[in-house]
């Protein structure tokens, strides 16, 4: 048995023990420690995000028709798969690569009475094959495999494969597309998120071997709130995606940027509009404590001197990460 399988079995043992000894905090602590090693920490907060759940349910009820065959990529708890089944799908294939999460998803699906209507497939969606894993191409593909800047979990590659190999020619995707919008910030403390120098009189610069300057950060900034930052530009489009026509490989978009304040731009702060279907959009522009979504910040490799009223072009290259470059 592999280590992942051993952890799953241990988790189930502790869950059973907790049923018999509900007040034993040692059992609860041990179960929680094992669970944290198996399941990403964002998983339960995501399920508790009611705005997200309601938006997907509304889109699924608008798109899924009676008799449809549906594929749910990254099913997690099985929630979206059950929404599709309840909306009238003839059958739903729920794909989940994490075998422990897939095991629990089967429990949840059975508990809610959908075991005959939903099949859980413990496999990476990028290797699913028609005739082997799924008997035929599907009418609808539902997916919620996005991080807060859309691209970080390999979502574009997975959707590209699914559209080409698993979806019928006239089939539908949920979501159908997305757009990332941004502003330029002056936020000096963000530099320390990827470049350490002197701290309390000590030179710590060798620690920068562990830095990840091309990774966007959760800087705990919410636009419109209080914080050590200044907005230096009008909002501008970073990237637009039509999930029905995704490009292969790295893409780029050039956008016009207008400065609204004097300052030194050192980061790009973004938010996401996820277009689930016509009339249904899930946006992270306004975040609150109920949302599991955050607004990502990309630290600029070269700081930008800005003057009020100045116009310039910003080139954004993207696939699994973003690279911003001013076009002079």
Assess if residue 215 is contained within a domain: yes
Is residue 305 within 8 Å of 318, Cβ to Cβ? Answer: no
Is residue 189 within 8 Å of 295, Cβ to Cβ? Answer: no
Q: Which of 269, 274, 272, 265 is nearest to 224 (CA)?
A: 269
pLDDT one-digit tens code per residue, 283-325: 988 876 667 778 888 888 888 999 999 999 999 887 777 788 8
pLDDT one-digit tens code per residue, 101-121: 899 999 999 999 999 999 999
| The model's pTM | 0.85
Is residue 259 within 8 Å of 289, Cβ to Cβ? Answer: no
| Residues 137, 192 within the same domain | no
Structural domain ending residue among the three candidates 112, 142, 174: 174
Q: CATH number for the domain including 131?
A: 3.40.50.150
| Residues 28, 79 within the same domain | no
pLDDT surpassing 80 at residue 213:
no
Assess if residue 66 is contained within a domain: yes
| Residues 74, 130 within the same domain | yes
pLDDT surpassing 70 at residue 54:
yes
pLDDT surpassing 60 at residue 1:
no
**In residues, how long is the chain?**
328
DSSP letter at 259 equals B
Q: Where are the beta strands (DSSP E) in 175-259?
A: 177-186, 198-199, 202-203, 230-231, 236-242, 251-258
222: tokens are 């919410």
Assess if residue 58 is contained within a domain: yes
pLDDT one-digit tens code per residue, 56-99: 999 999 999 999 999 999 999 999 999 999 999 999 999 999 88
| Residues 193, 125 within the same domain | no
| Residues 234, 123 within the same domain | no
The whole domain housing 118 covers 48-174
Higher pLDDT: 223 or 146? It is 146
174: tokens are 């949920």
304: tokens are 């930008």
3-state secondary structure 125-144: HHHCCECCCECCCEEEEEEC
pLDDT surpassing 80 at residue 195:
no
- The Cα 300–Cα 269 span in angstroms is 10
**Which letter, b or e, does each residue of 268-292 get, where b requires 16 or more Cβ atoms within 10 Å of its Cβ?**
bbbbbbbbbbeebbbbbeebeeebb
Is residue 308 within 8 Å of 261, Cβ to Cβ? Answer: yes
Q: Where are the beta strands (DSSP E) in 164-310?
A: 167-174, 177-186, 198-199, 202-203, 230-231, 236-242, 251-258, 263-277, 280-283, 297-306
Write down the pLDDT at residue 211: 81
How many domains is the chain partitioned into structurally? Answer: 3
| Residues 136, 219 within the same domain | no
Q: CATH number for the domain including 247?
A: 2.70.160.11
| Residues 161, 54 within the same domain | yes
Assess if residue 158 is contained within a domain: yes
Assess if residue 43 is contained within a domain: no
Count Cβ atoms within 10 A of the Cβ of residue 303 and give its class: 0-12 exposed, 13-18 middle, 19 or more buried.
middle
Residue in the structure block whose two tokens are 């997305």: 178
| Residues 21, 149 within the same domain | no
**Which letter, b or e, does each residue of 24-51 get, where b requires 16 or more Cβ atoms within 10 Å of its Cβ?**
eeebeebbeebbeebbeeebeebeebee
- The Cα 126–Cα 142 span in angstroms is 14
Higher pLDDT: 180 or 151? It is 180
Q: Which of 233, 214, 231 is nearest to 324 (CA)?
A: 214
| Residues 226, 247 within the same domain | yes
Most confident of 30-34, 138-142, 191-195, 264-268: 138-142
Write down the pLDDT at residue 60: 98
| Residues 300, 214 within the same domain | yes
Assess if residue 239 is contained within a domain: yes
| Residues 163, 187 within the same domain | no
Structural domain ending residue among the three candidates 118, 141, 174: 174
Most confident of 21-25, 170-174, 207-211: 170-174
**High-pLDDT (> 70) share of the chain, %:** 93
Assess if residue 140 is contained within a domain: yes
Assess if residue 135 is contained within a domain: yes
Identify the three-state secondary structure at position 182. Answer: strand
Residue 5 banded pLDDT, cuts 50, 70, 90: low
- The Cα 129–Cα 126 span in angstroms is 9
pLDDT one-digit tens code per residue, 216-264: 777 677 676 666 789 999 999 998 999 998 877 778 889 999 999 999 9
Is residue 165 within 8 Å of 197, Cβ to Cβ? Answer: no
Identify the three-state secondary structure at position 285. Answer: coil
CB atoms within 10 A of CB 168: 14
Higher pLDDT: 174 or 26? It is 174
Write down the pLDDT at residue 210: 83
| Residues 164, 54 within the same domain | yes
């Amino acid at each position: 048995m592999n280590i992942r399988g051993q952890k799953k079995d241990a988790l189930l043992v502790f869950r059973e023990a907790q049923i018999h000894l509900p007040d034993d905090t040692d059992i609860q602590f041990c179960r929680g420690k094992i669970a944290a090693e198996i399941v990403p920490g964002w998983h339960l907060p995501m399920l508790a995000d009611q705005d997200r759940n309601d938006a997907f349910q509304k889109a699924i009820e608008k798109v899924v028709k009676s008799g449809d065959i549906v594929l749910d990529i990254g099913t997690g708890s099985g929630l979206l798969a059950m929404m599709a089944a309840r909306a009238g799908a003839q059958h739903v294939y729920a794909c989940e690569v994490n075998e422990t999460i897939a095991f629990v998803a089967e429990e949840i699906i059975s508990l809610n009475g959908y075991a005959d209507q939903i099949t859980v497939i413990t496999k990476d969606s990028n290797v699913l094959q028609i005739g082997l894993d799924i008997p035929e191409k599907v009418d609808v593909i539902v997916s919620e495999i996005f991080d807060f800047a859309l691209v970080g979990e390999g979502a574009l590659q997975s959707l590209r494969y699914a559209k080409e190999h698993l979806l019928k020619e006239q089939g539908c995707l949920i979501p159908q597309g997305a757009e990332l919008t941004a502003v330029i910030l002056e936020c000096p403390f963000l530099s320390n998120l990827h470049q350490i120098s002197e701290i309390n009189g000590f030179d710590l610069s060798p620690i920068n071997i562990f830095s990840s300057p091309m990774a966007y950060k959760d800087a705990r900034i919410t636009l419109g709130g209080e914080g050590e930052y200044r907005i230096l530009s009008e909002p501008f489009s970073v990237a637009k995606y039509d999930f029905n026509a995704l490009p292969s490989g790295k893409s780029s978009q050039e956008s016009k940027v207008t400065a609204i304040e004097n300052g030194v731009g050192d980061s790009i702060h973004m938010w996401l509009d996820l277009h689930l279907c016509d009339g249904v959009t899930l946006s992270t522009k306004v975040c609150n404590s109920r949302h599991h979504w955050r607004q990502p910040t990309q630290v600029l490799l070269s700081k930008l001197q800005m003057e009020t009223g100045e116009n310039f072009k910003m080139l954004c290259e993207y696939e699994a990460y973003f690279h911003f470059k001013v076009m002079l």
